[in-house]
């Protein structure tokens, strides 16, 4: 169910932008034009309003993700949601510790991104630079909805399910010390979640390998915190602080893309669908 929830969240994220852009495109473009799909692709990647609408579609995606997670975790209201997720502090991961970790992770990740990727603009930079409205919307989503949606899926459902499944394997499939395989199960779950979280974020930060490495660092830190603490709340707060600091700096003009970034079409949220259309046409 955790894997299905992850796939469903990606599926919704892929198709939701279409529902927002198509009505706008129908007003801007001639649907009878034989080159309609080409014009639609250009609109989706160059028009600032179309880009804003695609980013806006992320909000209902996050809300639907919350609903999917709630349904699985509670079995449609039969179990407590927050308690099952691990929405409490621990002795070693209290509020101030998590705030400090979020800030430190941001500073370390920024250093890694600078060292390995420099100032090479990412696809997200180009999207942010498309209009002030889009920049503010991304800052809002990155701070107030993305940390919850992503942590609920990756560290809430995926990690806990994989860890529970893998740590049970030794009793049935292995001979030896069960404790050893419990540690191995947790390690494999951390690696698997790290890989999924990083791969999903690659299109946003391509082609800056430094930023991609920084996202990988964030993922492994959050998943290790989840494994050590056994709680999800610390992960959400660390993620929120990490994104929040970056959002504040971008809105204030101290970080993020500069106005002189070479203008070029951004990678549309619906670009994979456009490629598929031409492939099967």
- Rounded Cα distance, 165 and 67, in Å: 24
Q: What is the pLDDT of residue 259?
A: 46
Q: Residues 62-87: what's their mean pLDDT?
A: 93
Higher pLDDT, 118 or 94: 94
Residue pLDDT, tens place only, 102-145: 999 999 999 999 898 777 888 888 889 889 999 999 999 999 99
Q: What is the pLDDT of residue 176?
A: 58
Confidence check: pLDDT of 71 > 70: yes
- Burial (Cβ within 10 Å: 0-12, 13-18, ≥19) of residue 214: buried
C-alpha distances out from residue 124 to 6, 24, 28, 237, 239, Å: 22, 22, 25, 23, 18
Averaged pLDDT of the chain: 85
The band of 36, judged by pLDDT with boundaries at 50, 70 and 90, is: confident
Q: Residues 36-51: what's their mean pLDDT?
A: 88
Out of 32-36, 84-88, 173-177, give the one with best mean pLDDT: 84-88
Q: Residues 30-45: what's their mean pLDDT?
A: 84
Residue 195, both tokens: 């890989």
Contact 62, 150 (CB under 8 A): no
Q: What is the pLDDT of residue 188?
A: 85
Higher pLDDT, 165 or 64: 64
Lowest mean pLDDT segment, chosen from 19-33, 80-94, 219-233, 256-270: 256-270
N-terminal to C-terminal alpha carbon distance within the chain: 34
Confidence check: pLDDT of 33 > 90: no
Residue 59, both tokens: 């909000």
Contact 247, 134 (CB under 8 A): no
Q: What is the pLDDT of residue 231?
A: 94
CA angle 66, 70, 74 (to 5 degrees): 170
Confidence check: pLDDT of 3 > 70: yes
The band of 179, judged by pLDDT with boundaries at 50, 70 and 90, is: low
Residue pLDDT, tens place only, 246-281: 999 988 876 655 544 444 555 545 444 444 333 333
Confidence check: pLDDT of 41 > 80: yes
Q: Report the percent of the chain where pLDDT is more than 70.
A: 84
Query: At a CB cut-off of 8 Å and minimum separation 6, what does 72 contact?
Result: 1, 2, 5, 157
- Provide the sign of the torsion angle of the four alpha carbons 14, 20, 23, 27, taken in this order: negative
DSSP string computed for 33-89: -TTHHHHHHHHHHH-HHHHHHHHHTHHHHHHHHHHHHHHHHHTTTTS-HHHHHT-S-
- Rounded Cα distance, 178 and 171, in Å: 7
């Amino acid at each position: 169910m955790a894997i299905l929830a992850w796939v469903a969240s990606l599926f919704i994220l892929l198709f939701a932008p279409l529902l927002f852009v198509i009505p706008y495109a129908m007003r801007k473009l001639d649907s009878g034009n034989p080159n309609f799909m080409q014009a639609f692709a250009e609109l989706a990647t160059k028009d600032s309003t179309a880009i804003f609408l695609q980013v806006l579609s992320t909000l209902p995606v996050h809300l639907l993700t919350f609903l999917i997670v709630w349904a699985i975790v509670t079995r449609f209201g039969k179990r407590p949601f927050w308690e099952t997720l691990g929405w409490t502090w621990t002795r070693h991961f209290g509020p101030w510790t998590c705030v400090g970790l979020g800030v430190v992770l941001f500073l370390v990740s920024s250093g890694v991104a600078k060292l390995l990727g420099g100032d090479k603009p990412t696809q997200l930079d180009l999207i942010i630079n498309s209009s002030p409205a889009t920049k503010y919307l991304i800052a809002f989503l990155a701070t107030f909805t993305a940390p919850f949606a992503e942590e609920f899926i990756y560290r809430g459902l995926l990690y806990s399910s994989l860890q529970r499944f893998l740590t049970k394997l030794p009793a049935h499939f292995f001979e030896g010390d069960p404790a050893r395989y419990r540690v191995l199960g947790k390690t494999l779950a951390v690696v698997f979640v790290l890989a999924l979280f990083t791969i999903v974020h690659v299109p946003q930060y391509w082609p800056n390998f430094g930023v991609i490495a920084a996202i990988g660092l964030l993922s492994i830190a959050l998943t290790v915190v989840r494994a050590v603490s056994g709680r999800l709340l610390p992960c959400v707060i660390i993620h929120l602080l990490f994104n929040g600091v970056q959002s504040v700096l971008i809105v204030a003009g101290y970080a993020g893309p500069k106005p002189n970034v070479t203008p070029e079409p951004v990678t549309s949220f619906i670009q994979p669908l456009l490629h598929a259309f031409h492939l099967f046409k």
